[in-house]
Amino acid sequence: MSNGGFLSQDGQAVAIVHREDPSTGTIQVNATRPPGAQGVAGQGTVFTLTFMAKTSGRSMVTITQGGAKDPGMQAISVSPAQAAITIQ
């Protein structure tokens, strides 16, 4: 897991914390700026998630719940998404 640069574009530190649950195959990721820091606007990568393949095959990666706030700290709707991953 690494910082994607979007939340730290103004030099603020970003805390990226994740929790894995191997029994369900899920991971929860939170990326936050320091308390009191101004918001950022625009588009970009929040974080990069790197996988270590255990075997070849095909699997789905699904974002089931997401949350974001705009620079005024108002909630932004985030839609679920998924992608197919093929390991050869």
pLDDT in tens, 22-69: 898 889 999 999 988 888 888 899 998 888 888 899 888 888 888 888
What CA–CA distance (Å, rounded) separates 85 from 5? 24
pTM (two decimals): 0.76
Is the pLDDT reported for residue 71 higher than 80? Answer: no
Amino acid letter, 25: G
Q: Write the burial class of residue 16 (CB in 10 Å: 0-12 exposed, 13-18 middle, 19+ buried).
A: middle
Q: Please give the average per-residue pLDDT across 2-18, as a whole number.
A: 94
Q: Which domain holds residue 75?
A: 2-36+43-87
